[in-house]
Amino acid sequence: MKAISYLIAMNVKNAILDTIRHPLRLILYLIIIFGMAYGAVMGFTAGDTDAGEFIRGITAESHGRLLNGAYLAVLFFISIPVMLKGLSSGTSFFSLSDVHNLFVAPVSTRLILMYGIGRQLATMLILLITFAAYGGMLINTFNLAPWETLLLIVGIGLMLILVQLTTLIIFSLASCHPKRAAVMKYIIYATAFGAIGIVVGNLFIGGITLENTFRSISLPVLEYIPIAGWMHGFIFGILEQNSLKMLIYGLLMILMIFGSIIALYNFNTDFFEDVLSGAEDYHEFRENIRSGKVSEAAMFGDGKKLKKGKLGINRGYGASTIFFKHLREGARRSKIMFFNINTVVLMLIVLVIGLGMRIAMSEVNPTIIYLAVSIIGAYVQFFFSAASDWVKELTKPYIYLIPDNPVKKLVMAAATGLIKPFTDGIVSFLILAIFIRGEIPDIITAALMYGSFGSIYIAANVLAQRLVGIDSTGGVFITFYMSLIVLTLLPGVILGVVCLSEFAVVFGNIATTLFDFPIFSWNMLVSAIIFLSCRNLLNNTE
């Protein structure tokens, strides 16, 4: 125990000292904490939001069901990917330094396991504090008491621990047994699709109305599903003051936690091998995130056997070779050029929100739907831009060494990242148009604005790299990058708002065009200026 308590004490002490010795980091942490606290307080005290107004406009029964369904969806959305990922690579209970130093030390494996679980609890605590920033919004929107909000957040944290424990057991049972792993994967998929099937089935039987949508996503049967469902049952048992429900699901989870720990204690004390690959993957992923690199392995599944397809780059000369290389790499990631998981996610977001608005507000003009969906889509795209080909190219020395014009190299390295959002936007908004119709200029400008956000995100990334340095790491870069995005976008958004307010009376049926087109134009102009002004970025890696 001495070794582990020493390790914990030293880690805590050194983390504090390290933060104090790096004033910039300290300031950044303080800004983040202040921002979260501010967000939480604003949420508590803010007046009626549009979402809040909408939610209060529906019946009390539907109101509860919406909260029920949304919470269940969050639990599923978090737990299923973690379990699927964990099945192939274990969990992140331990860091690579734990594996290399602690696992080989003469310390009881059980103590090490408890240490790992303790570490995970601490990580979850930090995550919960982050979630707390959204607590205010929850209180305001759903008219919840602070303790109820806190309970919902704690529920997510507890569920994550349960998921990690379960994943560790599943991984222990399935590692080195491909058939078992496949069976478990099918069970997880079947559970997820089963839940979706129940919701969709109920939706079709009862009709696609707002009330029935809420009823479908909050069916009690969904609570029978282990972990996410049980946690939902437990938390809503407390909220609804339903002691029996709370007791049953609480007991089920306690049994599961103890059962898992006992299983790990007795059946598989030699869990080191099971967590080794997981720890290695997690270490690599963290290092890549820290250094601003996101490796192909981390993004596209390390062990996955890729089909090479056509061999050879076959085109390009000088700087343009980088673009054609990206096309070849893209073809290996996805059978359809520029089509990947981001395209699917965007299509789903566009369709779900677009059709959701159509169902909820049947009288609304389609232009309002396009307007809302294009704004949300543009925001979501930020999260897709982290792993663009451009970012990955900067992590290799070749782009700096290639003897060609730096502007050409810059544009060619960013080209696929610039084109892809436009193709994603066109595909997604065209599909939405099939369902909700609307004006052609709206459809085109919604897609164009979405695409132009890709240009702005890359341009802001280029500018941030130019100003704070390519080798800058972690939080400083991200904060700076995000500030630049806001600064570069703001004039375009103001322009859009002005155009919308000035011309909406005459051209009210194409409000999306009025708002989106000025933003698209501004984004493209600013992106071009940034690219030109940062032409010397590739002179060195700093």
Partner 1 sequence: MINVSHLTKKYNRYKANDNLTFTVSDGETAVLAGPNGAGKSTAIKCISGLLRFEGEIEICGYNNKSIEAKRILGYVPEIPAPFELLTVWEHMEFIARAYRLNDWQERAEMLMKRFELADKRDKLGKELSKGMQQKISICCALLINPKAVLFDEPLVGLDPHAIKELKHMLGEMKAEGTTIIISTHMLESVEDIWDKVFIMMNGRIEAERTRKQVEETGENLGELFFRITEKNGEESE
Binding site for partner 1 (CB under 8 A): 295-297, 302, 306, 308, 311-314, 316-319, 321-322, 324-325, 328-329, 332-333, 395-398, 400-405, 539-542
Q: At closest approach, how far in Å is the CB of 229 from partner 1? A: 38
Question: Quick one: which of 465, 314, 458, 470 has its CA closest to 386?
Answer: 458
Please give the Cα distance from 455 to 524 (Å, whole number): 7
Q: State in angstroms the smallest separation of the CB of 297 from partner 1.
A: 6
Nearer to partner 1, 190 or 306 (CB): 306
| Dist. CA 280–CA 36, nearest whole Å | 32
CA 59 to chain centre: 31
Residue 337 vs 490, nearer CB to partner 1: 337
What are the C-alpha distances in Å from 504 to residues 56, 73, 438? Answer: 28, 37, 16
Helices (H) and strands (E) in the chain, counts: 23, 0
Residue 178 or 397: the one with the smaller Cβ distance to partner 1 is 397
Q: Smallest distance from the beta carbon of 300 to partner 1, in angstroms? A: 8
Give the nearer residue to partner 1 in terms of CB position, either 60 or 401. Answer: 401
Residue entry with tokens 């009390």: 60
Q: How far is the CB of 111 from partner 1 (least distance, A)?
A: 34
CB of 318 to partner 1, least distance (A): 6
For residue 469, is it left (φ>0), alpha (ψ between -120 and 50) or beta? left
- Classify residue 434 as exposed, middle or buried by CB count within 10 Å of its CB (0-12, 13-18, 19+): exposed
Residue 126 Cβ, how far from partner 1 at the closest point, in Å? 30
HEC string of 202-245? HHHHHCCCHHHHHHHHCCHHHHHCCCHHHHHHHHHHHHCCCHHH
Nearer to partner 1, 426 or 468 (CB): 468
We find the least distance from the C-beta atom of residue 402 to partner 1, in angstroms, to be: 4
CB of 394 to partner 1, least distance (A): 11
Return all residues near 419 (Cβ < 8 A) that are at least 6 apart: 338
Q: CB nearer to partner 1: give 187 or 336.
A: 336
Using the Cα atoms of residue 3, residue 6, residue 8 and residue 14 in order, give the sign of their dihedral. negative
**Least distance to partner 1, CB of residue 304, Å:** 10
* Residue closer to partner 1 (CB basis): 65 or 409: 409
Q: Which is nearer to partner 1, 270 or 542 (CB)?
A: 542
Integer angstrom CA distances of residue 75 from 33, 99, 153: 25, 30, 11
Nearer to partner 1, 313 or 478 (CB): 313
3-state percent breakdown (helix, strand, coil) of the chain, nearest 5:
80, 0, 20
